[in-house]
């Protein structure tokens, strides 16, 4: 009889442990999927804001540049929420000649979290592009200024000059809930 009681207690402890492990894994995977999927877009256009900020780095973006293009538009900066470095990589995609606007695909590599690839269109000369990053709790944060500004588009729309604002001046704050 004692063996059956002991066996039943062991089975209850094992079942409870498995349930606890499953609950923790479900919560962890929910958090990770929430962070990695995030909202639809991590980019925001800041119209006509180019003249407002100090600029530190200049890069040339060529339309549909191949991955091995030696003059990359990459910029890395200290992650404001983790002890690591993040990278943003804007790629010039197309020019809308009628409206004189550009489209970009921007890859955002948030070290230790995820890599995002978002697109933004209808970007004009002197528009800034602000990148939103997840904090340690997965909530999006926006900088007080755009990370880069489109300062020039050539007449053929094949080249754009991007000026990066100075990362030491970025101050991050929570993005209001969009729902």
Domain ranges of the chain: 1-37, 40-174
What is the C-alpha to C-alpha distance for residues 145 and 142, in angstroms, rounded to an integer? 8
Kind and range of the H or E element at 24? helix 2-37
What is the C-alpha to C-alpha distance for residues 75 and 95, in angstroms, rounded to an integer? 23
Q: Identify whether the C-beta of residue 152 lies closer than 8 Å to the C-beta of residue 163.
A: no
Average pLDDT of the chain is: 79
pLDDT for residue 41: 76
pLDDT for residue 93: 86
Predicted TM-score of the model (pTM) = 0.71
Indicate whether 94 pLDDT > 90: no
What is the C-alpha to C-alpha distance for residues 92 and 40, in angstroms, rounded to an integer? 20
Q: What does each C-alpha distance from 40 to 87, 116, 124, 178 come to in angstroms?
A: 19, 10, 22, 11
Q: Identify whether the C-beta of residue 138 lies closer than 8 Å to the C-beta of residue 119.
A: no
Kind and range of the H or E element at 106? strand 101-110
Indicate whether 31 pLDDT > 60: no
Among residues 47, 56, 41, which one has the least CA distance to residue 170? 56
Which residues, in sequence order, are CB contacts of 54 under 8 Å at separation 6+? 165, 166, 169
pLDDT in tens, 110-161: 988 889 889 999 999 999 999 999 888 888 899 999 999 999 888 777 888 8
What is the C-alpha to C-alpha distance for residues 30 and 32, in angstroms, rounded to an integer? 6
What is the C-alpha to C-alpha distance for residues 23 and 96, in angstroms, rounded to an integer? 50
Q: What mean pLDDT comes out for the span 33-61? A: 75
């Amino acid at each position: 009889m004692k063996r059956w009681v002991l066996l039943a207690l062991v089975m209850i402890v094992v079942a409870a442990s498995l349930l606890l492990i499953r609950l923790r894994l479900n919560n962890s995977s929910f958090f990770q999927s929430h962070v990695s999927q995030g909202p639809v877009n991590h980019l925001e256009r800041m119209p006509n804001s180019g003249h407002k900020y100090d600029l530190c780095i200049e890069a040339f973006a060529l339309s549909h540049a191949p991955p091995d293009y030696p003059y990359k538009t990459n910029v890395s900066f200290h992650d404001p929420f983790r002890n690591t470095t993040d990278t943003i990589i804007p790629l010039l995609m197309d020019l809308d000649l009628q409206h004189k606007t550009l489209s970009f695909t921007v890859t955002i590599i948030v070290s230790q979290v995820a890599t995002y690839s978002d697109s933004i269109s209808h970007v004009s000369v002197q528009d800034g592009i602000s990148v939103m990053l997840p904090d340690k709790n997965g909530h999006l944060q926006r900088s007080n200024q755009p990370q880069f500004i489109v300062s020039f588009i050539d007449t053929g729309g094949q080249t754009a000059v991007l000026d990066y604002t100075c990362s030491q001046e970025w101050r991050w704050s929570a993005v209001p809930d969009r729902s």
